[in-house]
Amino acid sequence: MIPDLSSFDAGTLVCAVGAAGSGKSTLFSTMPESSIVCLDELRLRLADDAGNQRVTPQAVRMQNLILRTRMELGLTTGVDSTNVEERVRATVLKPALAHGRRTVAVVFLTPLETCLARNALRPANTRVPDDRVAWQHRQTPRSAARLRREGFAEVYFVGVADAASGRGA
Ligand SMILES: Nc1ncnc2c1ncn2[C@@H]1O[C@H](COP(=O)(O)OP(=O)(O)O)[C@@H](O)[C@H]1O
Ligand SMILES: [Mg+2]
């Protein structure tokens, strides 16, 4: 079921978990722009190029600062990045847990073929290598199994039907 992002309490952390092209940014586009952190946008801001991986460390620092600040202020925040690694999610979760915020993960189970087809349509600078998309895709169900233990209080799945229709089931 696709969660209604506007229904969450103030201060909720909403963390996407999904491969490139799985539909993360599309879902988050229903939230106010200032409530989303997205590494692509931060790289664009830093380097005029959303795909410039050389500035990823700086973009991650900005993402962490934004998250820490917004969690402290009690502002709902969506993390529009792949987040398929536990180490990365731990960094995202930390400020939310530190401030006792509601923690929500949204897992994108979009089929690999769909992710690859969408990725292929992207401009070259933001296209992710196919083997990387496949790796992210493999990590997604593995991640899903761990999310509650890591500290996510709620886990939603955006499934095959949702991904095809763009609507909640
Ligand atoms: N539910 C959906 N139905 C149809 N097209 C979608 C859907 N979700 C995403 N797309 C399309 O797929 C492409 C990639 O989606 P995007 O949200 O940018 O993925 P991500 O942010 O996970 O990389 C976009 O061009 C978007 O229009
Ligand atoms: Mg995106």
Distances (CA, A) of 4 to 65, 77, 169: 26, 14, 12
Residue 55: which domain range?
5-165
Distance 99 CA to ligand 1 centre (A): 32
**Which of ligand 1's atoms lies nearest the C-alpha of 19?**
22
Per-residue pLDDT, 164: 47
pLDDT for 147 beyond 90: yes
Short-list 22, 60, 15, CA closest to 41: 60
pLDDT tens across 51-104, in order? Answer: 999 999 999 999 999 999 999 999 999 999 999 999 999 999 999 999 999 999
Q: Can you say how many angstroms the Cα of residue 8 is from the centroid of all Cα atoms in its chain? A: 16
pTM comes to 0.91
DSSP state of 7: G
Give the span between the Cα atoms of 106 and 1, in whole angstroms: 10
**Which of ligand 1's atoms lies nearest the C-alpha of 80?**
21
Q: The CATH number of the domain where 51 resides is what?
A: 3.40.50.300
Ligand showing the shortest atom-to-Cα distance for residue 115: 1
Per-residue pLDDT, 1: 63
Please choose from 1, 2, 5, 26 the residue to mutate so as to test ligand 1's pocket, defined by most ligand atoms within 8 A of CB: 26
How many domains does the chain divide into? Answer: 1
**Which of ligand 1's atoms lies nearest the C-alpha of 167?**
1
Residue type, 28: F
Ligand 1 shell residues, CB under 6 Å: 18, 20-26, 118, 163, 166
> Which is higher by pLDDT, 74 or 9?
74
Distance 24 CA to ligand 2 centre (A): 5
Atom 3 in ligand 1: residue holding the nearest Cα: 166
